[in-house]
Structure 1
Amino acid sequence: MGVIRKQALILNLPGQPKSIKETLEGVKADDGSVSVPGIFASVPYCIQLLDGPYVETAPEVVAAFRPKSARRENMSS
C-alpha cells in the first residue's frame, strides 16, 4: 500500500522477501511476463504528483503507469 502525505511518498511493504519482490515487481506468469503490475510501476507518477522530476523507466524492466493526461507527449509545455 502507498500514500502521499504532504510532500512524502510512503510505501508500506510486507515483511517477507518474496512478498516484497511480488509487491514491487508484480505477479509474473509462467512465461515471465507480468500479469499483474506491482506498485513500483506507479512510483514515477507519484513523484510527478509531488512536483518532482518526470521519471522515465525502461519498459522491459518496469513499465511506468501514468494516466494519459500525465504522459509527457500529452502535457502542454
Structure 2
Amino acid sequence: MSGGGARPVVRVGIVTVSDRASQGVYEDKGGPAIRDWLARALVGPWETVARVIPDEQARIEATLIELADAEGCSLVVTTGGTGPALRDVTPEATEAVCTKMLPGFGELMRMASLKFVPTAILSRQTAGIRGSCLIVNLPGKPSAIDDCLQAVFPAIPYCVDLIEGAYIETDAAFCKAFRPAHAARK
C-alpha cells in the first residue's frame, strides 16, 4: 500500500447453506466455526458478512453474487451443501456464478479430510473466482472446516492478490500464507 494510509478492511462473506439452520430447527455451527477460524488466522482490519440460507440453488447463486458484487467481499467461504444428497447443490451454484474454477482447492481439501474419514471422497468441495472474489466451498462439520481451511488457506491470500481483491494478512504462527518473493507487498 502506498501513501502510508490505512489498509482497507477485508470483507469476508460466510454462507451457511442448510435447510434446517435457515429455518431455526438446527443451530448453525459451520458459520461460527469459519468465523472463529478466521479470527485466529487473520491480522489487519477485516469483517464478515454472514448469511444462513436454505439448500436452494437459485438462492445460493443470488447470495454469492450479492456478497461478491454488492457487498465487496474479496473472499466468500460457504459451509454445507457439498455432499451427494439430492439437495446438496452448493458446488453447482458456485460453478454457475464463477468465471473460473479452481479444482485444486477441492482436491486438496478431500486429501486432507481423507486422513480422518473415508467418506471424504463423497464431498464435492470446490472453489472459483467471480470478479475479484474467491469463493471456497467447505463441508458443514466444524472439525472438517478446520481440516480444510488448514489445508487450503495458505494459498488463499496470494490467490486473492492475483484477482485484485483486498490484501489478506495472516498470523504466521497460526497459518502462514504463501506469497512468492516477487509478490510481497510493502
TM-score by length of structure 1 reads 0.61
1:9, distance to aligned residue in structure 2 (A): 0.8
Partner of 1:44: 157
CA contact (8 A) 2:133 2:163 kept: yes
Mapped pair 1:10 → 2:135: yes
Q: Which residue of 1 aligns with 2:147?
A: 22
Measure, in 2, the Cα distance between the counterparts of 1:56 and 1:21. Answer: 18
In structure 1, what is the Cα distance between the partners aligned to 2:181 and 2:128? 21
Where 1:12 maps in the other structure, the secondary structure is strand
Higher relative contact order (CA 8 A, sep 6+): 2
Q: Which residue of 2 aligns with 1:55?
A: 168
Structure 1, unmatched stretches of 5+, are 26-37
Give 1 or 2: higher helix fraction. 2
CA distance in 2, matches of 1:55, 1:15: 24
Return structure 1 stretches of 4+ with deviation > 3 angstroms. Answer: none
Number of residue pairs aligned between Structure 1 and Structure 2: 61
Which amino acid counterpart does residue 146 of structure 2 have in structure 1? K
Q: Which structure 2 residue ranges, 5 or more long, are not aligned?
A: 1-105, 107-126
Cα distance in 1, alignment partners of residues 133 and 165 from structure 2? 11
Paired position in structure 1 for 2:89: none
What is the CA RMSD across the aligned residues, in angstroms? 2.0
Letter of the structure 2 residue corresponding to residue 5 of structure 1: R
Cα offset for 1:22?
0.3
Tell me the amino acid that sits aligned with residue 63 of structure 1.
K
DSSP 3-state at the match of 1:11: strand
One-letter code of the match for 1:4?
Answer: I
Flag the 1:60–1:42 CA change in 2: closer, same or farther, 3 A: same
1:58 Cα deviation (Å)?
A: 1.5
